[in-house]
Chains A and B, each alone.
Chain A
Amino acid sequence: MTSLRRIWAILRKELVQLRRDRTTAALILMIPQIQLILFGYAINTNVRHIPVAVVDQSRTGLSRALIQMVEATQVVDVTLRLPTVQEARRAVRASRVRAVLILPPDLDARVARSPAANMGQPDSTEFASARPVGQWIVDASDTMVAGAIKGLRLMPLAELFRQPPNRQVPTCEVALFSNPEQRTEVNVVPGLVGIILTMTMIMFTSAAIVRERERGNMEMLINTPVRPIELMLGKIVPYMGIGLVQMAIILSLGHVLFNVPVAGSLWVLLAITLLFILASLSLGLVFSTFAKSQLQAMQLTVFVLLPSILLSGFMFPYDGMPKPAQWIANVLPATHLMTMIRGVVLRDAWIEDLAGGMIWMGGFAALGLLVATLRFRKRLD
């Protein structure tokens, strides 16, 4: 069939041009590796080693032991010791430290009465015993830092007196599935597939039609019998292969470097990634029919890339977002991929669990291809 031959002609042309463009070819392989290594190590939601100051007004053996205990949690590093609260607040303002621990002069007396020290059970409604031992002043602009320091609020004090820590009986037992060691990488590595593919796939095709125009090839092309749909398919197919290569790089490096094994079926993984690639490529093609220059195409790519990073659930939990933001996130193919790829890689989700997202992405891809094909006119006006 002639139609297939023309698709093949476009496809081969794209591959030849890509092969000649060595830098782009190298970037296709390097970008996923570098970003995986960078983000895999860098992104960590378990906040540790927050620099803090201590204002120790009691200066007793107990206060020194208490400071050591706080440091032993590794949540904070005491980097500064200051004599007054005023100076400590200044240090917070100058962002030399994120928080200040203030230990009052009557620390020993407070500790002795504190229920946290586990020395008998005084009435907690009694004013004297309900008083806390010390105070944290926190720069709470970063909610994650604030949350980590809040976690020190209920630090048991029994260890100060070489007693076993207060054993609290939990109301509920928590069993951690998928990521029992609570490593951030486990969540980041599969998510990175979605981010990198969003970036490269949309970028490639958003420039695809514009490039023909900018380099002056369009007038020749529209004078040939090539059909818009043939042109679109010929431009999509080579990049599907590239997208799969990128996914393979990320997941295999993620396995080797960060010990994130693929729990689910590789076939399901292939299916959802292909659908996502198709959706991204067709979105890029739609952009390509709007953009007048490669610069505009790039801007449109970033326009989608940022929400794909911030709203898709890659960085912040999808469920925590307000409803309208969730609706917007649901339009983005990346959001669906985040759920699905984490499902397959981490939880061995099977195809019927993912049907909804897959249908949505397939529909998105088909719609994008249709819009791009209809918008592409073989005319100059």
Chain B
Amino acid sequence: MTEPVVVARGITRRFGPKTAVDTVDLRIERGQIYGFLGPNGSGKTTLMRMLTGILRPSEGEALVLGVRLPGNAEPLKQQIGYMTQTFSHYRDMTVLENLRFCADIYGLTARERRARLDELLQIHDLTEQAHQMAGSLSGGQRQRLALAAAVLHRPRLLFLDEPTSAVDPESRRAFWEQLFDLVDDGASIIVSTHFMDEAERCHRIAILDHGRKRADGPPPRLMRDLDANVVEVEGGNLRLFKRDLDGRPGIMSTAQIGERLRVLVEKSIGDPAAHVRKAGKLALNVRCEVVRPNLEDVFVSATRRAVREGAA
């Protein structure tokens, strides 16, 4: 068993009266893609910034690649790569100039640099754009440039802050292929996202909400261990049916997805499908069926429980 790349204990960050990250514990193993899943404002970026050492935790501490934080984060810089949420390379420089700049900052020798830049342009499909201004690139190209720059010095740990928010689905697929290649080469990756499908690709995820970690584990296990049943309702007037269900005992949440209504029912209810049918007064010709939970159900359940605990 190798040493984990990140261990955090009770890490907390307050901005004035607001607590952005609240006593989060983390353990991230080597060679994994670890996802922070959460809505905007859930503390993903703050948590990531604390782990790269550019933000001091208000409380708690972390051990990142053996470097203790808070503390001198400089020894960490050469070993980590960081891809910021908004494009942070120079828009008035070309792709190649930006990559050269990073190569020099990370101390690559002239010979290493030439070989590495050629390789990166090829891997990240930027050869044609090499002499194009970074500011004039498309969203997908910009993201590829940012990833290329972040991995240029072969970091052991890569931080990606919502890397695919401004990217089309096809580019996103290609992007994730790159990530798995990097993991295959021995890197560990921490990625934040608010996309369920993206979170599902991670080896492990932590669900963040209002600065707290609500759940963590591999996505399949989280789905399997969901302490709720999922019932899908089809047919009838779904908007009316949803209004009937909301607030009923045993019903955790309802959400319409196209022609279907997805209902989370508490685990304690014996026959969830029958419970849903009975709960809806106007349910005449609806079909109720227990289905396999997905990650969104896990997310809803995890964040809902927190709301209830908070109210209690």
Contacts and interface: CB of A to CB of B under 8 A. Distances in A.
B6 to A, nearest CB: 16
Interface in A188-237: 215-220, 222-226
Main secondary structure of the interface of B (DSSP, over half): loop
Contact of A381 (B55, B74, B88, B91): B55
Nearest to A231: B105
B90 A219 contact: no
Given A5-B107, A9-B104, A378-B54, A17 B93 contact: yes
A232 to B, nearest CB: 15
Contacts of A9: 100-101, 104-105
Contacts of B82: 219-220, 223
A13 interface: yes
Given A5-B104, A16-B97, A226-B105, A216 B80 contact: no
Contacts, number: 76
Contact of A217 (B78, B80, B88, B106): B88
B77 A6 contact: no
A2 B56 contact: no
Main secondary structure of the interface of A (DSSP, over half): helix
A126 interface: no
Given A5-B107, A9-B105, A223-B77, A17 B55 contact: no
A2 B90 CA distance: 22
B92 A20 contact: yes
Contacts of A167: none
Interface string A367-381: 000000000001111
A54 B101 CA distance: 73
B74 to A, nearest CB: 7
Which bucket holds chain B's interface residue count?
20 to 34
Interface string B69-102: 0000110011010101011111111000100111
A215 B91 contact: yes
Contacts of A222: 54
Contacts of A12: 101, 104
A21 interface: yes
Interface in A236-288: none
A217 B49 CA distance: 15
A8 interface: yes
Contacts of B102: 224
A16 B96 CA distance: 12
Given A215-B91, A223-B82, A380-B49, A8 B54 contact: no
Contacts of B52: 223
A9 B87 CA distance: 20
B54 A379 contact: yes
B55 A217 contact: no
Interface string B121-165: 000000000000000000000000000010000000000000000
Contact of A223 (B56, B80, B89): B80
A220 B49 CA distance: 11
Contacts of A219: 54, 82, 84, 88
A20 B107 CA distance: 25
Contact of B86 (A5, A20, A216, A380): A216
Nearest to A225: B77
B78 A379 contact: no
Contacts of A20: 92-93
A8 B54 CA distance: 24
A222 B104 CA distance: 15
B157 to A, nearest CB: 12
A223 B93 contact: no
Interface string A72-94: 00000000000000000000000
Nearest to B80: A223
Instruction: Give the interface centre of A13, A217, A218, A224 by most chain B CB atoms within 10 Å.
Output: A224
B54 A17 contact: no
Interface string B100-124: 1110111100000000000000000
Interface of B: 49, 52-56, 73-74, 77-78, 80, 82, 84, 86-93, 97, 100-102, 104-107, 149
Given A9-B104, A222-B54, A225-B77, 13 more contacts: A6-B104, A9-B105, A13-B90, A17-B92, A20-B92, A216-B88, A220-B84, A220-B89, A223-B80, A223-B84, A225-B74, A225-B78, A381-B55
The 7 closest A-B pairs by CB, nearest first: A9-B104, A220-B88, A2-B107, A223-B82, A225-B77, A20-B92, A224-B105
7 contacts: A9-B101, A17-B92, A217-B89, A225-B77, A225-B78, A225-B107, A380-B54
